């Protein structure tokens, strides 16, 4: 690939996070030539990762959205709400390969405006999903767990290790302190230990090791993080595998900036089976007279998932039900639905923006369902009905279902 084919891939940093591993797993899906053009870009927060994709500063970002143990990553959903739901733009034009054929993996650029019938999309588009097994460990320089006096980790991780922490390190004994990422937690433990060592060398601060009684009173910080973080930051693993569930897994979505030519991402040949066969180009559906009741679920492929967000009129009885019924009556099967408070940052107090803030106790719904928006006219028809029954509908895109979704292990 030419140097112009290089692409930047943002992830929640620093190195050693599970987001870093998800970024590497995504790149591993690509051909060797394409892999060499990946520029990994660590970013301090999830919000900033998405923000840089929206602004076009980076081409792609991997974002954790869901954990099998404690559910949705609300920080990610809130960032999507703030940066995407209130910021829509036209769909990119259809992209083709040099041979003139549609790129099978190029689901984000495989439709133009008229094929989406006026459905609104965002300045970033979801193009893929990655699953990463989460194997938390307790990292610390402490000689034993009873010498740990505080624990650091990312907010999402606390709920995944409650059994271990409540039994071995209750909050009353070892306060739990949030960090931007699990790897940042390990970095903080390493930094504190380095400072302590420097003080010991200068003969100040912590007690000298020659005083055994005082030395035994010395306490240490710890981090809940991965083996990779332990290696990156040179922090010993005090207790391995402390997750509540051995099958603990996090799902990540890969987002692309507006205008990014996703056909630049060449996937390994063996992964083509992930993409369902497309309808014939000369097949025309009568959108006005299509009898959806005669269709069954098997006609919508489970090899693709579509993600949308919407708001509804909370004063209208059954407003959300009508939107969901539009999908159900078209044989469209939901895979998940999440809600977050509908907060518009542009209408915050003190803002010069004249946009009216959403009413208190109103919500943004994030809905995923089987099917490919870009090739399934049935889905577009259903979404036009959803659009009529919602206050605002925003399409975030369709992406291939990762086979790891169906397996008990994501390795």
Q: What is the CATH number of the domain that holds 75?
A: 3.40.190.10
The token pair at 350 is: 């003190």
Determine the structural domain holding residue 146 and report its residue range: 137-239
Evaluate whether residue 290 is within a structural domain. Answer: yes
The token pair at 257 is: 């900036």
The token pair at 252 is: 């990540």
Evaluate whether residue 399 is within a structural domain. Answer: yes
What is the pLDDT at residue 271? 53
Q: How many domains does the chain have?
A: 2
Residues 63 and 191 in one domain: no
What is the pLDDT at residue 263? 82
Whether residue 46 contacts residue 76, with contact meaning beta carbons closer than 8 Å, is answered with yes
Residues 233 and 274 in one domain: no
What is the pLDDT at residue 64? 96
Residues 294 and 225 in one domain: no
Angle at 114 between CA 111 and CA 115, to 5 degrees: 45
At which of 204, 239, 274 does a domain end?
Answer: 239
CA distance 107 to 98: 17
Residues 112 and 177 in one domain: no
Residues 11 and 97 in one domain: yes
What is the pLDDT at residue 190? 96
Evaluate whether residue 22 is within a structural domain. Answer: yes
User: How many angstroms separate the Cα of 122 from the Cα of each of 86, 261, 363?
Assistant: 9, 16, 18
Residues 184 and 71 in one domain: no
Select from 41, 50, 47 the least CA-distant residue to 14.
41
User: For 226, what's the count of Cα atoms within 13 Å in the CB-facing half-sphere?
Assistant: 23
What is the pLDDT at residue 389? 93
Collapse the DSSP code of 368 into the 3-class scheme (helix H, G, I; strand E, B; otherwise coil) and give the result: strand
The token pair at 276 is: 């369902």
What is the pLDDT at residue 102? 36
At which of 239, 259, 286 does a domain end?
Answer: 239
Evaluate whether residue 411 is within a structural domain. Answer: no
CA distance 245 to 164: 11
Evaluate whether residue 244 is within a structural domain. Answer: no
What is the pLDDT at residue 215? 56
Residues 144 and 233 in one domain: yes
What is the pLDDT at residue 325? 95
Evaluate whether residue 49 is within a structural domain. Answer: yes
What is the pLDDT at residue 270? 52
At which of 199, 217, 239 does a domain end?
Answer: 239
Residues 59 and 163 in one domain: no
Residues 40 and 127 in one domain: yes
User: How many angstroms separate the Cα of 225 from the Cα of each of 135, 254, 305?
Assistant: 8, 22, 30
* Start-to-end C-alpha separation, the chain: 29
Whether residue 209 contacts residue 178, with contact meaning beta carbons closer than 8 Å, is answered with no
Residues 253 and 372 in one domain: yes
Residues 304 and 374 in one domain: yes
Radius of gyration for the alpha carbons in the chain, expressed in angstroms and rounded: 24
Residues 121 and 218 in one domain: no
* Average pLDDT, consecutive stretches of 10 residues, N- to C-terminus, the chain (411 residues): 78 94 95 94 95 94 94 92 62 34 36 47 87 96 96 94 97 95 96 89 59 69 96 96 93 93 82 34 29 38 91 88 94 94 63 58 93 89 93 91 78 43
């Amino acid at each position: 690939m030419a140097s112009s084919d290089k692409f930047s891939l943002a992830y929640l940093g620093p190195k050693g996070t599970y987001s870093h591993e998800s970024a590497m797993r995504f790149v591993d899906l690509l051909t060797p030539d394409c892999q060499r053009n990946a520029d990994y870009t660590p970013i301090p927060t999830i919000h900033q990762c998405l923000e840089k994709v929206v602004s076009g500063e980076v081409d792609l970002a991997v974002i954790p959205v869901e954990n099998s143990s404690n559910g949705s990553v609300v920080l990610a959903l809130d960032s999507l709400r703030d940066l995407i739901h209130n910021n829509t733009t036209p769909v990119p034009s259809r992209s083709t390969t040099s041979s003139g054929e549609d790129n099978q993996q190029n689901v984000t650029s495989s439709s133009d405006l008229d094929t989406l019938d006026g459905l609104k999309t965002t300045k970033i588009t979801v193009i893929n999903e990655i699953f990463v097994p989460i194997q938390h460990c307790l990292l610390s320089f402490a000689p034993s767990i009873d010498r740990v006096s505080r624990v650091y980790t990312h907010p999402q991780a606390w709920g995944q290790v409650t059994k271990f922490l409540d039994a071995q390190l209750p909050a009353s004994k070892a306060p739990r302190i949030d960090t931007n990422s699990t790897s940042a937690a390990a970095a903080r433990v390493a930094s504190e230990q380095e400072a302590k060592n420097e003080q010991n060398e200068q003969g100040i601060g912590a007690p000298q090791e020659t005083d055994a009684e005082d030395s035994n009173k010395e306490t240490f910080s710890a981090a809940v993080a991965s083996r990779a973080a332990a290696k990156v930051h040179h922090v010993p693993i005090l207790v391995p595998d402390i997750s509540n569930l051995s099958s603990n897994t996090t799902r990540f979505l890969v987002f692309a900036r507006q205008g990014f030519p996703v056909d630049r991402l060449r996937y390994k040949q063996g992964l083509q089976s992930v993409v369902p066969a497309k309808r014939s180009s000369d097949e025309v559906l009568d959108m006005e007279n299509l009898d959806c009741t005669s269709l069954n679920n098997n006609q919508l492929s489970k090899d693709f998932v579509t993600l949308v967000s919407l708001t509804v009129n909370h004063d209208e009885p059954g407003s959300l039900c009508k939107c969901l019924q539009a999908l159900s009556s078209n044989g469209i099967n939901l895979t998940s639905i999440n809600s977050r408070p509908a907060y518009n940052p542009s209408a915050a107090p003190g803002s010069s923006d004249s946009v009216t803030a959403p009413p208190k106790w109103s919500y943004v719904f994030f809905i995923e369902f089987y099917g490919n928006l870009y090739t399934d006219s049935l889905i577009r028809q259903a979404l036009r009905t959803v659009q009529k029954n919602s206050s605002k509908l925003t399409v975030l895109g369709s992406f291939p279902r990762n086979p790891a979704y169906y397996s008990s292990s994501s390795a």
